[in-house]
Amino acid sequence: MFDSLSDKLDNALHVLKGHGQITEVNVAETLKEVRRALVDADVNYKIAKDFTNTVKEKALGQDVLTALKPGQMMVKLVKDELTQLMGGEAEGINLSGDPSIILMSGLQGSGKTTFSGKLANFLKTKKTKKPLLVACDVYRPAAINQLHVVGEQVGVEVFSDEGNQDPVAISKAAIAHAKQNGHNVVIIDTAGRLAVDEAMMTEISNIHEAIQPHETLFVVDSMTGQDAVNTAKTFNERLNFDGVILTKLDGDTRGGAAISIKSVVNKPIKFIGTGEKMDALDVFYPDRMADRILG
């Protein structure tokens, strides 16, 4: 995960990690390399520039050059700032409803169905909840089947109504079914398209409006870098979602989406997907991720 970014940052911070004298010149040079590493990771140039400017200002404010261990202080400043950029504190999902309704949104192939299964599994085992998975992709019967397969894998019931072309009606029927059968979490998997289009946006907005979910999650493929960030922006403008799910981090060497999505949409990353299996799910902790990136 993020190997290429970690290597580049490690090289950039090499001098500061105690391999030479620290001067104003090499601090500036280091920050320039940090900026380059972020841009190479597919972080938007302005975000990368603001990031290094902030670190520089903080370094000046703390008189880093005259400190006892200036190199380590600088590395800590970079780490702290990276943590802040990725969201600061970890944020959970809202499970206060009975049932709590969780709506998935995102493009086709982003990992919605897989994540729906992972989340159901996580809630069932870690939080002793009784989830219900709901198949609302009315265009692709294969997607409905896929959710049934996933549901079977994690031992969670799947609600579907093949032939029904109205996702709002399916969602409402599923919520009624959940209430009757003691499910306290309803996870609604929706249809995505390969690119953002008006029909998809209208459909997901209509479902959102009709069922008023406790939690709306935007699922996105981490490997798509700045595209992930731009798609997040579009979905957020329509849905005002509550959190981001970043999938496929296991295949992402660059990390640009993880680093910059929070600062663009101002919504936290809540979980990350790290594989195809149903247990390949982690709560997203910005500080742990910064530790991992900086080694």
288 marked ligand binding residue: no
Between 110 and 121, CB nearer to ligand GDP: 110
Between 5 and 16, CB nearer to ligand GDP: 5
180 marked ligand binding residue: no
- For 293, left (φ over 0), alpha (ψ -120 to 50), or beta? alpha
Q: How far is the CB of 261 from ligand GDP (least distance, A)?
A: 16
- DSSP E strands in 38-183: the ranges are 100-105, 131-136, 158-159
Residue numbers at the binding site for ligand GDP (CB under 6 A):
106, 108-114, 146, 192, 247-248, 250-251, 273-276, 280
* 8 A C-beta contact, residue 265 and residue 244: yes
191 marked ligand binding residue: yes
Residue whose CB is nearest to ligand GDP in the complex, by number:
273
247 marked ligand binding residue: yes
226 marked ligand binding residue: no
Q: How far is the CB of 251 from ligand GDP (least distance, A)?
A: 5
Between 106 and 225, CB nearer to ligand GDP: 106
* 8 A C-beta contact, residue 99 and residue 186: yes
Between 110 and 263, CB nearer to ligand GDP: 110
Between 12 and 261, CB nearer to ligand GDP: 261
* 8 A C-beta contact, residue 260 and residue 233: no
Q: Which residues contact 127 (CB under 8 A, 6 or more apart)?
A: 95
Name the residue with tokens 């261990």.
Answer: 69
Q: How far is the CB of 9 from ligand GDP (least distance, A)?
A: 23
Q: How far is the CB of 143 from ligand GDP (least distance, A)?
A: 6
110 marked ligand binding residue: yes
Residues 53 and 62: their CA atoms lie apart, in Å, by 14
273 marked ligand binding residue: no
* 8 A C-beta contact, residue 200 and residue 115: no
Q: Which residues contact 33 (CB under 8 A, 6 or more apart)?
A: 8, 11, 12
Name the residue with tokens 């903080």.
Answer: 58
Q: How far is the CB of 71 from ligand GDP (least distance, A)?
A: 36
Task: Tell me the binding residues.
Answer: 106-113, 189-193, 247-250
Task: Tell me the binding residues for GTP.
Answer: 106-113, 189-193, 247-250
